[in-house]
Amino acid sequence: MQQIQAKTQLRTKKMVLTAMLACLAFVLNTYVYFPSMAPFQHFVDVIAAVLLGPWYACAAAFLCGIMRMMSGRTIQAVVGAVFGPILGGLIYQKTHNIWLVLVGEVAGTGLLGAMTAYPLMKLFYGLDAQSPLYYIPLYTPAALVGGGMGVAALLIFKRSGLLNRMLAELGREAPHG
């Protein structure tokens, strides 16, 4: 019985943190805006991938994307956000290396997200671009900048001991090195 309660409490903590991170990304992207760039989505994606794992991190990105779409953004707000935390989270599960989460975020967003956005933008919004590579130069810099900020924050948390405490509280393994 206690084991079931512990699993329920852990799942509840992860769901609450997922919602909080989704809201943080939404607020940061709403008030700190660069044309065609949402670096704070990637900042949060990297942090969520490490703290929560790929699926909760994807849920946070998806929730933020839906909120951004509801406030006037295109489907890119969802598509450009969900692949990075999945790939980054999967990489972190295998390696426990914070720097490699950035690689996953950039590859997931800058390549997979960008190439997935192209046909959807063409279909739903009548995008006139002729190449499926159209969004790569737009998505990649945002993922690099925001993901880099996320790694910097995680390294500061690690140095202070906060990251290990947060990961322990969430039933996750601490980074190596």
Determine the pLDDT at residue 165.
95
pLDDT of residue 133: 86
CB 135 within 8 A of CB 115: yes
User: Hey, what domains does the chain have and what are their CATH numbers?
Assistant: 2-169 (1.10.1760.20)
C-alpha closest to that of 94 among 8, 4, 175: 175
Of 63, 71, 58, 148, nearest to 103 (Cα)? 148
Beta-bridge partner residues of 34: 37
| Residue pair 98/154 in contact by the 8 Å Cβ criterion | yes
pLDDT at 118: 85
pLDDT of res. 36:
66
- The answer to pTM > 0.85 is yes
Tens-digit pLDDT string for the chain (177 aa): 888 998 999 999 999 999 999 999 999 988 887 776 779 999 999 999 999 999 999 999 999 999 998 988 888 888 888 999 999 999 999 999 999 999 999 999 999 998 898 888 888 788 787 888 888 998 899 999 999 999 999 999 999 999 999 999 998 887 875
Using an 8 Å Cβ cutoff, are 43 and 60 in contact?
no
